[in-house]
Structure formats: structure tokens, C-alpha cells
Amino acid sequence: MSFVAVDPATGKQTNEVPFKSSAQTELKVASAHAAYLDWRLLSVEERVRPLAEMGRLLRERKDVFGTLMTSEMGKPISQATAEAEKCAWVCDYYAEQAPSLLRTVNAPTDGSSSYWTYRPLGIVLGIMPWNFPFWQVIRFGAPALTAGNAALLKHAPSVPACAAALEELFNDAGYPEGLFANLFIDLEATGDLIDDPRVRAVSLTGSVRAGKAVAARAGAAIKPCVLELGGSDPSLILADADLAAAAKSCAMGRLINTGQSCVAAKRFVVVESVREAFEEKLVQAMSEWSVGDPSDPQTDVGPMAREDLRDALHDQVSRSVEAGARLLMGGSIPNRPGAWYPITVLSGVREGMAAYSEELFGPVATIISAADTTDAIEIANGTAFGLGASVYTGDVQRGEQIAAELIDAGSCFVNGIVKSDPRLPFGGTKESGYGRELSPIGILEFTNAKTVWVK
């Protein structure tokens, strides 16, 4: 068994890396644990030095890293290089903010001295997906190491070159040897690692099914998890919205990364009085996105990451159309090699259809009619997911109230697409997971808030 990379644009295999033996994996785990025992004793100021260097290297090597992402998962090259730059932003943020975020907090009590301090846990196992092969890893690994932990990476089997490049990046940035290590291992070995007492926590970005399995295994071992799982993010288009601006924003939210994002806009819940006008503008906005060779800087939408994922998406579209949904554009698999799927818009989507209740992970938008604002909110919340949501309205104050108080999601944006930002917490509710990445909250997830009392 092995990690296998296939170029999504051509369907041709480009790389294969065999799984490592249990003995080889043990060497990496032991090395990570040994490195952690020394690393945890350094000051935060010392721990941010390689982080700043890693940000510089990410910018310097963005074209190399972007090419790897494009070749292994089909990400348009302009978006791939932008992903490397965004990773550098995370490094910059924590390099600047970590000393204050991890500072000791004094708490006057009956002792002569009392306070709490944020201490690292040990090794954090990161189980990461293919869709943002650098961003997901850096946003987990950078704060975990800065907090004093070690990190082991179990990456998606379809991006082996990205996984190897990430380990090299951490080493080149000046982190101690073994503190961050990539593991080419299967699911059974991953489960064994969760059980390993040297592994003290788990961060997973992936499917709901994977999240349930990891949470159960980690829970049995009494270890904390951060789970960032699926999403079926709604965008509410209210009657007073600027429809042209909303349509352009929604097209971007749906099509970035070829629609393969947990936090992508997926369900467009439109108040019926403006539905027809919005449909027309959304189709126009989505038709302006260019589909083509992902290595071409002018391409907006490339192939999907794998043919099996493309086929599963097409099945969801076909079942929805058979149940009565209307195709406004797209919906047919092109006759060409690779994992290509056209930009697709479905309207008339109703409860009971696959496009209504299932996560569509690709360039497919679904339009759902709502009677009014109250109905739109109810439809938006009527899902097992709760990752992100957007509200488009001319009444910004009302939109903010809906976002802050009435939508059940981890992130809710008004008149804009949901996006991750190092300065803001990122994560979900319900089956979209728990725990938070990024922001001050994210760096504290894998720490022990240790109370110290002295008399």
C-alpha cells in the first residue's frame, strides 16, 4: 500500500510513495518526543524565531509549492501560490502575537504568588486533507509548535510530494530535527498513534465520518481533539440585498478551489420575491469564471481533485435533477481525461433532494427558495452542519443581528464570503466539529492552563 498522486487534469499517475514500516514510524515518534522534551523548555521568544523564518521561506518558495499543489490536487496555480502566501501570513501573525498570547496570567489569591501559565501538552497528531494541502498543515502546525508542542503529520494519501515538502520546510526554517515530522502511514497505523501515550492530542480536518472515528478513538484514550469537518454553508439572499454584488460574491464563494472547500458557499437561500432575478445574475457571474488548465495563471477553475470525487458529485446532481431540480447551467461530465466537472447551477432545490441535505464538494451551486427572512433563517439552520454562513442584505444592522444571534454556525459573514483569517477563530458547530483554529483561541487549544500557587 502507498500514497499515490494522480494529476487531476490528465488522470495520469505522477508519484507513488510506499507506506513506512512500523519500525520507521516508531523512529519518527521517538524523535519527535525527544525533541519536544527540550523544545518545551525554551521561552516563547526563542520558539518564534524559526516561525518567522518559515514565513520568509514560504514566500520565497511560493512558486515551487504552488506547482506541487497544482500537480497533485489540481488547484489553479494562481490560487496555489496565494495559498503559500496565506501560510506565511499565519507565521507572521503568531510570530508577532505569541509572546503576549502565551504570557503568564497573575491571579491574586490567598497565596503569596498565584497565577496560571500555558504549558505545552506533548506531541500533537495532525490528520490533514488534500484540498488545502499547505494551508491546513501550517495553520495547525505553526501554533502547535509555537505553544511548545511537537507535531506529527498524517497527510492525505493523494498529496505525497506536498507532505514531504512540508517536513523539509519546517526543518529548513530551523526547527529542531524531528520536532515536526511527516508520516507515510495507513489508517490502522494512524489509529495506533492516537493510542500512543506520547501523542497527547489530535487535530483533524476532514469528513464527518473521519471525525467521528477519530473522536471516538481519542475519547477512549482521554485526549483532546480539534475537529474541523464538513459544511453545507448557506448564503442568505434577503429581499433588500444588492443582487448584482451578492451574485458576484456568491460565485466567488462557490468556485474558489474549484468548490472543494468545507467552508465554501454551497446553498443559496433566496427570498422568493428576488429569486428569479438572483438566479439570472448568479448564472451570469459564474459563467465569467474561466475553466481550464490549472497551470495557466489565467485559469479560475480547474479539475476536481480525483475522478471518484467528481463521479460522486455528479451522482448527487443527477439524483437532484431526477427529483425535480432544474439545471440552469452545467451538469454533464465532459468527454476528456481527468477529473473535470463543469460549473453547475441547480434551482428549485427542495427538502428531500440530495442537493438540499448533502454536502456538495465541487463547483455546484444550489438555489433554494424561501418565503421570507424568517423562513430563510430556518432553512439555513435546517442542516446537520454548522461551519459557516453568509447574509446578504442592504440593512447591515439587521444582517449583523442575524449573523450574530440567529444563525447556528462557527462563522457568519455579512455581505461577503466566509473565509479563514489568522486573526479570527475558525471552526464549527454540530457535525461540522468542535474546537477552534487560528486567533488567540487556536494557539491555546493544545496547551495546559496550569495553575501555580505559592505561599
CB of 425 closer than 8 Å to CB of 448: no
d(CA 51, CA 48): 5
Amino acid 325 reads: A
Residues 6+ apart with CB under 8 A from 10: 337, 338
CB of 259 closer than 8 Å to CB of 362: yes
Residues 6+ apart with CB under 8 A from 255: 286, 289, 300, 301, 343, 363
Active-site option among 87, 91, 250, 262:
262
Active-site option among 228, 279, 359, 437:
228
Please give the angle made by the CA atoms of 400, 401 and 404, to the nearest 5 degrees.
Answer: 80
CB of 234 closer than 8 Å to CB of 211: no
Sheet with strand 105-106: strands edge to edge: 105-106, 113-120, 447-454
CB of 84 closer than 8 Å to CB of 61: yes
d(CA 385, CA 428): 8
Clarify whether 262 is annotated catalytic: yes
Site of grid cell 484540498? 131
Q: At residue 96, what are phi and psi to the nearest 5 degrees?
A: -80, -40
Q: Name the 3-class secondary structure at 82.
A: helix
Beta strands of 166-218 (E only): which ranges? 180-182, 199-205
Task: Kindly state the cell numbers that stand for 417.
Answer: 464570503
How many of the other CB atoms lie within 10 Å of CB of 39? Answer: 20
- DSSP codes of every residue in 360-403: --SSEEEEEEESSHHHHHHHHH-SSEESEEEEE-S-HHHHHHII
User: Considering only CA atoms, which of 314, 129, 132 is closest in space to residue 208?
Assistant: 129
Crossing angle for the helix pair 22-39 and 187-195, to the nearest 10 degrees: 40
CB of 300 closer than 8 Å to CB of 289: yes
Task: Kindly state the cell numbers that stand for 408.
Answer: 447556528
| Element housing 275 (H / E) | helix 272-287
- The residues annotated with a catalytic role in the active site are 228, 262
